[in-house]
Amino acid sequence: EVQLLESGGGLVQPGGSLRLSCAASGFTFNIYAMSWVRQTPGKGLEWVSGISGRGSNTYYADSIKGRFTVSRDNSKNTLYLQMNSLRVEDTAVYYCAKERAATAYDGLDTWGQGTKVTVSS
């Protein structure tokens, strides 16, 4: 069974840092691109970041560029999101998600359960 399990969320003060992890299982992790998507309470989805299967290409939303860094350790089947200089507006549930196809960016077909990040003083 294909599964994604996020961890690392929590309460942090503005200006602080957190590192989210996403443990993958049930598929060949290193051939699938992955994304991070966040959702604020009662609101919609915001795409945050993406990374290719080998980790050589990374992509970021303008709202987090320069503050967040996506990476992956294919030997550990784990995706990461390093979040620095956190702002109140970064408060959200963060999901990791897997691309449907190994060779295309056409749809996110598996999502984790999400991890909650709260930025507050």
Partner 1 sequence: EIVLTQSPATLSLSPGERATLSCRASQSISSFLAWYQQKPGQAPRLVIYDASNRATGIPARFSGSGSETDFTLTISSLEPEDFAVYFCHQRRSWPNSFGRGTKLEIK
Which residues make beta-bridge pairs with 63? Answer: none
For residue 20 the two structure tokens come to: 């989210």
Report d(CA 39, CA 22) in Å as an integer: 16
Pick the binder of partner 1 from 21, 27, 82, 111 (CB under 8 A): 111
Q: Among 79, 95, 115, 117, which residue interacts with partner 1 (rule: CB under 8 A)?
A: 95
45 binds partner 1 (CB under 8 A): yes
Q: How many residues bind partner 1 (CB under 8 A)?
A: 23
HSE toward the beta carbon, residue 67, CA cutoff 13 A = 16
By CB under 8 A, is residue 77 in contact with partner 1?
A: no
Considering the complex, what minimum distance in angstroms separates the CB of residue 76 from partner 1? 22
Residue 66 is a binding residue for partner 1 (CB under 8 A): no
For residues 17 and 43, what is the distance between their CA atoms, to the nearest angstrom?
A: 24
Is residue 28 part of the contact set for partner 1 (CB under 8 A)? no
